[in-house]
Amino acid sequence: MNEQLILPSAKYKHKVGYLGISLFVVVAVCIYLKYNPFLIFADFTPIQRLLGEMLPPNFSVLWQPTIGKAIAQTGSAAFLATFYGCLIAFVLAFLTAANTMPLRFIRLLVGGFLSLLRIVPPLVCILIFIIAVGLGAFSGMLALIVITVGMFGRLFTDIIENTEHSAADAIYSVGASRLQVIRYAILPQIIPSFIANCLYAFDVNIRVAISLGIFGGGGIGYALYMAMQVLHYQDAFALICLIIIMILLIEKTSDYFRTMILGKEKLR
Amino acid sequence: MLEVSNLTKVLPNGRKVLDGISFKVKKGEFVGILGPSGAGKSLTMRCLNGLLKPDSGSVVLTDDQGFSSDICQIKKRELRKVRQKIGVIFQGYHLVKRASVLENVMIGRLGQISTFRSLFYGFTDKEAEEAVKALEQVKMDHLSGTTTSGLSGGEMQRVAIARAIFQSPALLLADEPISNLDPSNAKVIMKLIRPLSENIPVVGVFHQPEMTAKYCTRVIAIKDGKIIYDGDPKLTNDQLVEIYGEELHQLEQHEQPVLAIQ
Amino acid sequence: MTINDFSPKRYYKLVLPTVGLLALIKLTAWVCGAGFDKLGKGLLQGISFVKIMFPPDWSAFPEMLEPALQSIAIAFIATVLGTLLAVVFAIAAASNLTNPIIRNITRFLIGLERSLPEIIILLILIAGYGLGVFSGIVALSLGCVGMLGKLLGDIIEEIDHTMIESLEAVGANKLQVIWFGVIPQIVPNLVSLALFRFEINIRLSIILGAVGAGGIGYELDTSFGLLQFHRGLTAVLVILVMVVGAEQLSHFIRNKIKLKGALK
């Protein structure tokens, strides 16, 4: 026998101990929140009632011009936010990456700014922008830009910092300036993953755009929220179907192009 | 005792991959199966532990306690019972990563304990001690607490053997157990497998005639789904050429000139 | 090809996409009602508004603690229960453990869930179960199942098929294969993903709270709604501390797992 060996009975006691403590914590939190996790399995009546009210979906609502406009607004907000957000994130990433920005002071400053954008909750963003530019798709778009920059700024920085240093060294060695190195050594390496991430950003942004719409960002999210509020559940169900189809379509297209750009194995 | 008779398997495209394979393996025998790639060795092995159902023929396993079963005829539930009696050592070790060496050995008895116990309590201290004894037999007991991901190929194969020992099977199958190992590790593994054949029949597939000549008690050669040789493990050069084809011989003859051209 | 080469190929490759992109930006900006003049005016207004918000109303701070705790509790319980459920779904969605029919049905359900933002699930649940913590937790748990179910399912599918076969070769049944062969291999990834999801759930619990799932998000929304901006700022600060705290905790634990060499 050796001292490394842990007998199964000791292991069992350990396991039971940990399990007991975790179970206690979970049950305590459940009691604190007055939450019964089994309710959803035990009591189907609310869902049954809801389904009864939702079916059949009223698809005629989708032909109303307001819905068409709402879809256009959501799509536009997501597209513009992706475009400007990725552009800003791209520029800021060069200012934070250690191999493109020599000044430590600026690196820290811009890096801190990116971190701040990342931790600001989307809800706070949209509330502030609604006060700044009023209700509507524009404020939703501005909030989305902030979220996009926060999410992808750090990612782009990592991508830039992970480029091959040998290529940059080779170009430095022929006497090129820092900007020339960026143009000829770093840009070619990061462009594919940048474009792929932009597509991914659009995919994410369309979902966030729908969510933010509920808080006054306009678009299809707001239309759904309104239908729910006035208890037009059949209209709401049609809108939900529309949203699912929209998101799935965009996800598949985005996946397709990303696979085309990056090759299958690199898809995140 | 293992009794294989008249195994036949035809692929959907009409190719006969197993064509009337019959042999008997008794206690005390260490049988090495040789043959070129695609001859049907692995298929035979898969038939022996029920992973593959042959079109016709039977594989009857009998042990000292009077247990007897035809592996080719039984249903899935009974198959699990038979599999408890068959220890298998694979080419790719097939250990559970992230679990400790000891746990990997104890997994050998999963089929013998009730599902309820295995999910809620696991193994007993007594079983753990037995597992350590099995590890001592393969000289791996000093590593029983470590995870398997850091082990070398030879060490992993030794754990796999300990798992088979701990399983206390009525038959041990080894599917190319030394193909991924360097020569000295391969010898160690063969030396570990050999004594197991004193109590139970052992059947292994190998690609190394020199190893089977040294450690096996009997050799069976399979070619094109048929048994072409069954007997003494020490094969002559002509017999090897018959098994592996003319190429084997030619390669040896032309070895020098080919190198000279390069 | 030189810089001065204006061949049709170059024209199609460069000029057309640029023009198309500019036109698309113009069009979408018009649909959104966006404009730089509006942005300039709005930014000034926004900055002056942020100035109004200061200083935070510290007297409201004690009132914020309870909702903050509630938000954390919601995120915690949703992560725990959602992860447990996700493991079940992941196993059902892994091609090497289940038959193709169950796998495809599970993958379809997971895909359906993933295509709906959590907040819409919450709206549906609120219509069924009413406002409150219950709907919030269920919505977050479902989100957890969608995300972790897919990722874990893919991780399980990467497990060597022959390893599972070798467990079957000693006579283990399906449950034993899962418990002894699959679970030990996915636990590190599972913990790491669950922690990552906990970060997301903390953020989401704030948004969902504003719609009516309780917690600090509700405080924030009502403070802004009632124009109590100093109080709103206090809520914002509490939220920032929560988000950063959850992130640091999750990083800390994940680094510990990584140091043990458990993560791929």
What pLDDT, in 10s, does the model give residues C77-122? 999 999 999 999 999 998 888 888 999 999 999 988 888 888 888 8
Same domain, B37 and B96: no
Identify whether the C-beta of residue B39 lies closer than 8 Å to the C-beta of residue B224. yes
**CB within 8 Å: C27 and A76:** yes
- Determine the residue of chain A that is closest to C79 in CA distance: A26
At residue C215, does pLDDT exceed 90? Answer: no
- Quick one: average pLDDT of B34-58? 81
Predicted pLDDT at B261:
42
CA A81-A184-A82 angle, to 5 degrees, is 5
Q: Smallest Cα–Cα separation from B57: which of B65, B48, A8?
A: B48
Same domain, C79 and C1: no
**CB within 8 Å: C171 and B118:** no
User: A158 falls in which pLDDT band (50, 70, 90)?
Assistant: confident
ipTM above 0.85, yes or no: no
Per-residue pLDDT tens for B76-132? 777 878 888 888 888 877 788 778 888 888 888 887 887 777 777 778 888 888 888
**CB within 8 Å: A80 and C28:** yes
Is C44 within the bounds of a domain? no
Q: Smallest Cα–Cα separation from C203: which of C111, C75, C54, C67?
A: C75
What's the CA gap between A106 and A100, in Å, rounded?
Answer: 11
User: B7 falls in which pLDDT band (50, 70, 90)?
Assistant: confident
- Quick one: average pLDDT of A231-252? 87
Same domain, C117 and C235: yes
**CB within 8 Å: C134 and A35:** yes
Give the number of domains in chain C: 2
Predicted pLDDT at C3:
52
Closest CB to C32 among A50, A134, A138: A138
Predicted pLDDT at B251:
53
Best of B78, B110, B146 to mutate (most C CBs within 10 Å, chain C): B110
Give the number of domains in chain B: 2
Final residue belonging to a domain, choices B168, B186, B214:
B168
CB-based contacts of B190, cutoff 8 Å, min separation 6: B178, B211, B214, B215
Final residue belonging to a domain, choices B115, B141, B168:
B168
Same domain, C61 and C158: yes
Same domain, B148 and B177: no
Tell which A residues from 12 to 41 touch B, by Cβ distance under 8 Å: 12
What's the CA gap between C144 and C109, in Å, rounded?
Answer: 13
Same domain, B177 and B223: yes
Same domain, C254 and C140: yes
Which of C5 and A65 is assigned the larger pLDDT?
Answer: A65
Is C49 within the bounds of a domain? no
At residue A199, does pLDDT exceed 70? Answer: yes
Range of the domain at B32: 1-85+173-262
Identify whether the C-beta of residue B219 lies closer than 8 Å to the C-beta of residue B235. yes
Final residue belonging to a domain, choices B135, B168, B201:
B168
Q: What is the CATH number of the domain that holds B37?
A: 3.40.50.300
**Token pair for residue B49?**
């532990």
Chain centroid to CA A268: 13
CA B103-B106-B107 angle, to 5 degrees, is 85
**CB within 8 Å: C112 and A244:** yes
Is C46 within the bounds of a domain? no
Is C41 within the bounds of a domain? no
Is C264 within the bounds of a domain? no
Same domain, B20 and B96: no
**CB within 8 Å: B107 and C171:** no
**Token pair for residue C31?**
């649909």
At residue A4, does pLDDT exceed 70? Answer: no
Identify whether the C-beta of residue C201 lies closer than 8 Å to the C-beta of residue C78. yes
Amino acid at C111: G
Same domain, C206 and C147: yes
Predicted pLDDT at C82:
92
CB-based contacts of A62, cutoff 8 Å, min separation 6: A238, A239, A242
Same domain, C154 and C189: yes
Tell which A residues from 72 to 101 touch C, by Cβ distance under 8 Å: 72-73, 75-77, 79-80, 83
- Where do we find the tokens 């008779």? B5
What's the CA gap between A80 and A209, in Å, rounded?
Answer: 11
Same domain, B53 and B103: no
Predicted pLDDT at C1:
45
In this structure, are strands B226-231 and B218-223 parallel, antiparallel, or unpaired?
A: antiparallel
Q: What is the CATH number of the domain that holds C224?
A: 1.10.3720.10
Predicted pLDDT at C262:
53
* Burial of residue B175, with CB atoms counted within 10 A of its CB: 0-12 exposed, 13-18 middle, 19 or more buried: buried
User: C263 falls in which pLDDT band (50, 70, 90)?
Assistant: low
Q: Which residues of B touch A2 (CB under 8 A)?
A: 141-142, 144-145
Chains with at least 3 CB pairs less than 8 angstroms from chain A? B, C
Q: Smallest Cα–Cα separation from A26: which of A38, A43, A10?
A: A38
Same domain, C117 and C233: yes
User: B42 falls in which pLDDT band (50, 70, 90)?
Assistant: confident
Q: Which residues of A touch C26 (CB under 8 A)?
A: none
Range of the domain at C17: 1-30
Tell which C residues from 167 to 186 touch A, by Cβ distance under 8 Å: none
At residue B215, does pLDDT exceed 70? Answer: yes
CA distances from B205 to B89, B90, B118, B181 (A): 10, 10, 32, 14
At residue B256, does pLDDT exceed 80? Answer: no
- Determine the residue of chain A that is closest to C139 in CA distance: A40
Identify whether the C-beta of residue A30 lies closer than 8 Å to the C-beta of residue A36. yes
CB-based contacts of B84, cutoff 8 Å, min separation 6: B109, B111, B112, B167, B169, C170, C171
Predicted pLDDT at C264:
46
Residue B25, number of CB atoms within 10 A of its CB: 23
**Does the model's pTM come out above 0.95?**
no
**CB within 8 Å: A8 and B145:** no
Q: Which residue intervals of chain A are DSSP H helices?
A: 8-33, 39-42, 45-54, 65-96, 104-119, 122-133, 137-161, 165-173, 178-181, 187-212, 220-229, 233-262
Same domain, C64 and C22: no
Identify whether the C-beta of residue A37 lies closer than 8 Å to the C-beta of residue C81. yes
**CB within 8 Å: B118 and C185:** no
Per-residue pLDDT tens for A171-181? 888 877 888 88
Beta bridge partners of B4: B23, B59
**Token pair for residue C197?**
């999801």
In this structure, are strands B56-62 and B226-231 parallel, antiparallel, or unpaired?
A: unpaired
Domains and CATH numbers, chain A: 8-43 (no CATH), 59-266 (1.10.3720.10)
What's the CA gap between A119 and C239, in Å, rounded?
Answer: 9
Same domain, B27 and B153: no
Q: Smallest Cα–Cα separation from B204: which of B19, B32, B26, B25?
A: B32
Same domain, C19 and C117: no
CA distances from B231 to B3, B191, B212, B217 (A): 16, 21, 12, 9
- Quick one: average pLDDT of C180-192? 86
At residue B249, does pLDDT exceed 50? Answer: yes
Strands laid side by side in the B16-25 sheet: B16-25, B2-10, B56-62, B68-70
**CB within 8 Å: B92 and C162:** yes
- Determine the residue of chain A that is closest to B121 in CA distance: A12
Identify whether the C-beta of residue C92 lies closer than 8 Å to the C-beta of residue C98. yes
Is C103 within the bounds of a domain? yes
At residue C2, does pLDDT exceed 60? Answer: no
Same domain, C176 and C136: yes
Predicted pLDDT at C83:
93
Closest CB to B107 among C162, C175, C180: C180
CB-based contacts of B65, cutoff 8 Å, min separation 6: none
In this structure, are strands B56-62 and B68-70 parallel, antiparallel, or unpaired?
A: antiparallel
Identify whether the C-beta of residue B194 lies closer than 8 Å to the C-beta of residue B215. yes
What's the CA gap between B164 and B178, in Å, rounded?
Answer: 16
Same domain, B62 and B179: yes
Same domain, B119 and B180: no
Q: What spatial distance separates the first Cα and last Cα of chain B, rounded to whole Å?
A: 53
What's the CA gap between C179 and B122, in Å, rounded?
Answer: 10
User: C5 falls in which pLDDT band (50, 70, 90)?
Assistant: low
Same domain, B193 and B64: yes
Amino acid at A169: D
CA C116-C117-C118 angle, to 5 degrees, is 110
Is C104 within the bounds of a domain? yes
Best of A7, A14, A19 to mutate (most B CBs within 10 Å, chain B): A7
Same domain, C3 and C134: no
Chain centroid to CA C160: 30
Q: Which residues of A touch B121 (CB under 8 A)?
A: 12
Does C14 touch chain A if contact means CB atoms closer than 8 Å? no
Same domain, C11 and C141: no
Same domain, B177 and B260: yes
Q: Smallest Cα–Cα separation from C215: which of C196, C202, C233, C234?
A: C202
Chain centroid to CA B137: 18
Identify whether the C-beta of residue A177 lies closer than 8 Å to the C-beta of residue A135. no
